[in-house]
Structure 1
Amino acid sequence: MSELGNIIEDMIQRLLVDSVDHTLLERSEGGGWEGDLWSKLEENGLPIMLAEPKEKGGEFGWREAYLVAMAAGRHALPLPLPEAIAAGWLLALSGIVAPEGRLGLAAGDGLVVEGDTAHGRLPRVAWGRHLTHVVATTCDQVVLIPVEGCAVVPGDNLAGEPRDDLVFDGVEVLSAPCPPGFGTETSRQLGALLRSAQMAGAIATLLERSLAYAGERQQFGKLIGGFQAVQHMMAVLAEESAAAAMAAEQAFAALDLGRDKDFAIAAAKVRTGEAAGRAASIAHQVLGAMGFAREHPLHFASRRLWSWRAEFGSEAEWAERIADMVIPMGGDGLWAFVTAAQADPM
């Protein structure tokens, strides 16, 4: 990791360790907005860290954004920080001046733009009710939509995070052509990318808590971590955590390196989604009934994993996209593609 990466990781970890606790997470469920914590994130420049991207001479790139998104998942951050980072990057590359306020990101499904007005419905927008603007892509355009002109249909995911439908008819918007190499599906791809890193972070938390519990819980006069069956489960959990982190990291690096982002993002969403299911299952087996208790923090990570793996496309959807990309290559072409697509380490 670069020196800059170390600085970013240390900053976000210290900030979230000091700020995100059981009380805050409980309070945030049901749609509340943690304004004081958001102000701290803004003071450290995190929501706009890619508003001047490396492509335009900025200091930070997607490798640094990966560290922030993973930390957000690791600590179950109840704010749309990863979405704000990606939205600011999209606006910067498309030449749209980012407005003041809270930016969100949405897939452009159901969005119709005619001139400078938009119609349609953006489903399940993260923290939609608290945003000032949302960014989406459709018809090879980046679109900036003011939430003030939308009707908000409240909703929540399994983790209690706001997932609101934004409905609009004739809302005035700003739009610009997508940056070169990007298109209609870009906002969905970026959402899948962010969720892959967040899931990798949450899985790391499951591993940490499971190891701690196995090292303190006794059964039949022996620590449960000493039983071979539990050791095997912990080994599988560690494997899934490492695989998820590597898949997500490589997808973020692909954006910085100009490698095949379509394949890397699809692979990351599939692999982290699969890891999320296995990791949550193992963690709850290790902790037993304790892990399901409201007072225990394990459920903050596992409920987010169950929610995030379905957002911005499920594993099945992204696996189909991978198949569409690689089947025409044939066996020899696929091998050459995979071996050439390895990103440099972060």
Structure 2
Amino acid sequence: MADTELQELAESIFGDAASSDTGFDAPLWSTLEETGLARLTLPAGAGGSEGTFADAAVVLAAAGRHAARVPLVETDLLAGWLLHAAGVDVPAGALTAVAGDLEVDGGRVRGQLARVPWTRAAAALAVLTPTRVVLLAPGTLTITDGANLAEEPRDAVAVDGEAVAVAPAPDGAAGELRVRAALGRAQLLAGAASGALAATVRYAGERVQFGRPIGRFQAVQQQLAEAGAEVAAASAAASAAAGAATADGMAAASTRFAVAAAKARTGEAAGTVARIAHQVHGAIGFTREHDLRLWTTRLWAWRDEDGSDAEWNAEVGAAALAAGPAGLWPLVTGSP
């Protein structure tokens, strides 16, 4: 499917489902399953559509732009990949995944997991321990409800029961799981920043002060231009990371560097765009009744999830130092 067709499809699906509710959007998830977008990058043998990471970037950006309430990253890029890579059959339904240290004795599993995303909506939970991949059904989980700032589920989970499956962890799984999560989060951040900017430009054109829309005032125009530049930079960084993953594979050092830069850059943009959006909206933007919160709370929450700006910037810096003077330009440009 061409990028334009995929983008039109994603915009149509997420646009029709957009709402200010919280919690899992089951009808939207059903539509994503029917259209093959829920498991876009997984192979056909795992129930996937065999799409690329660039395809996933298009869909995730649209999901962020419309504040979709579904575990796309968790199902497709994380749990589905992890289980398939470990040789475990990927179950149907929404999935979630987390890295954690569980006590595994044969098929019996016990332990505690913190801030697991979307557990309440998931048909199964995949856990990457230091040595194993464990697939757990909801019946083995005791969930204590939690949430991030955007009111997305981030639950505390107590595990005690028989696993559906236990398999050896693939080589390098921990590192790749972290990069995959950061890549997905960067796409969502870029999309949410775009959504916040669009809402702010729209409001600036509608809100009249001193006899004219506030968007005609130079100070407001300057703020909108700054936010627009941040959105462009975030989108470019996220797109470059998805392109690197598609071209070089997720395990490549070039992909890890591009993802580190993308997660840091989209996180930085998130703070600036959210600040300007609220400055332009004024007090009304801080009310729960106003839709601006759908984007800004996600920007604030997601920039600290799957590695903060400081963590990924440190990785970018370390890679630059390791490359040395001769290798810096090829590292930054991706050239040989």
**What is the TM-score normalised by the length of structure 2?**
0.89
Q: CA deviation at 1:170?
A: 5.6
SS of 1:33's equivalent in the other structure is: coil
Distance 1:209 1:318, change over 3 A: same
Report the CA distance between 1:268 and its aligned residue: 1.1
Q: What are the within-5 Å matches in structure 2 for residues 251-330 of structure 1? A: 251-258=241-248, 259=252, 260-330=254-324
1:50 alignment counterpart: 41
Distance in structure 2 (CA, Å) of the matches to 1:13 and 1:57: 20
Residue 92 of structure 2 is aligned to residue 103 of structure 1: no
CA contact (8 A) 1:104 1:128 kept: yes
Structure 1 SS opposite 2:173: coil
1:240 and 2:230 correspond: yes
- How many aligned positions are there? 331
Deviations 1:87-143 (A, max 9, x none): 22333344321112321122x143455654544333211111221212243436544
Structure 1 stretches of 5 or more lacking a match?
Answer: none
SS of the residue aligned with 1:73?
Answer: helix
What SS class does the counterpart of residue 215 from structure 1 fall into?
helix
Identity %, equivalent residues:
41
- Name the amino acid aligned to 1:191: A
Q: Structure 2: give runs of 5+ residues left out of the alignment.
A: none
After TM superposition, the structure 1 stretch with the greater mean CA deviation from structure 2, 3-12 or 195-204, is 3-12
2:71 alignment partner in structure 1 = 80
SS at structure 1 position matched to 2:67: coil
Superposed CA offset, 1:231-271 (max 9, x none): 11111100110111111111122211115221111111111
* Pairing 1:131–2:122 present: yes
- How far residue 148 of structure 1 moved from its aligned partner, in angstroms, is 2.4
Q: State which of 137, 144, 158 in structure 2 corresponds to 1:153.
A: 144
Pick from 141, 159, 162: which aligns with 2:153?
162
Q: 1:64 to 1:140 in 2, by over 3 A?
A: farther
Q: 2:217 aligns with which of 215, 219, 227?
A: 227
- Give the secondary-structure state (helix, strand or coil) at the position aligned to 2:295: helix
Residues 105 and 315 of structure 1: is their aligned pair in 2 closer, same or farther, counting only changes over 3 Å? same
In the alignment, the residues of structure 2 paired with residue 165 and residue 9 of structure 1 have an alpha-carbon distance, to the nearest angstrom, of 35
What's the CA shift for 1:73?
0.7
CA distance in 1, matches of 2:321, 2:296: 34
Partner of 1:15: 13
For the structure 1 residues 119 and 189, does the alpha-carbon distance in structure 2 shift closer, same or farther, using more than 3 Å as the test? farther
Question: Are the equivalent residues in 1 in contact too, given 2:64–2:189 (CA < 8 A)?
Answer: yes
**Preserved CA contact (<8 Å) 1:154 1:165:** yes
- The one-letter code sitting in structure 1 at the alignment partner of 2:219 is A
Please name the residue that 1:206 is paired with. 196
Contact 2:135 2:163 in 1 (8 A): no
Equivalences for residues 34-73 of structure 1 within 5 A = 34-52=25-43, 59-73=50-64
Secondary structure in 2 matching 1:335: helix
Q: Output one character per residue of 1:190-241: Cα deviation in whole Å (capped at 9) or x when no partner.
A: 2221111111111001111111122222222232222221111111100110
Root mean square deviation, CA, Å: 2.6
| Alpha-carbon distance in structure 2 between the residues aligned to 1:52 and 1:244 | 29
* Deviation of 1:175 (Å): 4.3
SS at match of 2:150: coil
Matches for 1:104-123 after TM superposition, within 5 Å: 104-106=96-98, 108-111=99-102, 113=104, 116-123=107-114
Matches within 5 A, 1:166-205: 166-169=157-160, 171-172=162-163, 174-176=165-167, 182-205=172-195
Offset at residue 168 of structure 1 (A): 1.7
Q: Is the 8 A contact 1:122 1:165 kept in 2?
A: yes
Q: Is the 8 A contact 1:137 1:185 kept in 2?
A: no
Query: Residue 57 and residue 313 in structure 1: after superposition, are their counterparts in 2 closer, same or farther (change >3 A)?
Result: closer
Asked if structure 2 preserves the Cα contact closer than 8 Å seen for 1:140 and 1:183, the reply is no
Q: Which amino acid aligns with 1:300?
A: L
Q: Distance in 1 between matches of 2:174 and 2:300?
A: 27
Decide which moves more: 113-122 or 86-95: 113-122
Separation in 2, partners of 1:104, 1:142: 13
Q: TM-score, normalised by structure 1?
A: 0.87
Bigger mean CA deviation after superposition, 301-310 or 328-337: 328-337
Is 6-15 or 331-340 further displaced after alignment? 331-340
Describe the SS at the equivalent of 1:184: helix
Residues in 2 aligned to 1:119 and 1:340: alpha-carbon distance in whole angstroms: 44
CA distance in 1, matches of 2:134, 2:265: 30
Would you say the 8 A contact 2:61–2:187 is kept in 1? yes
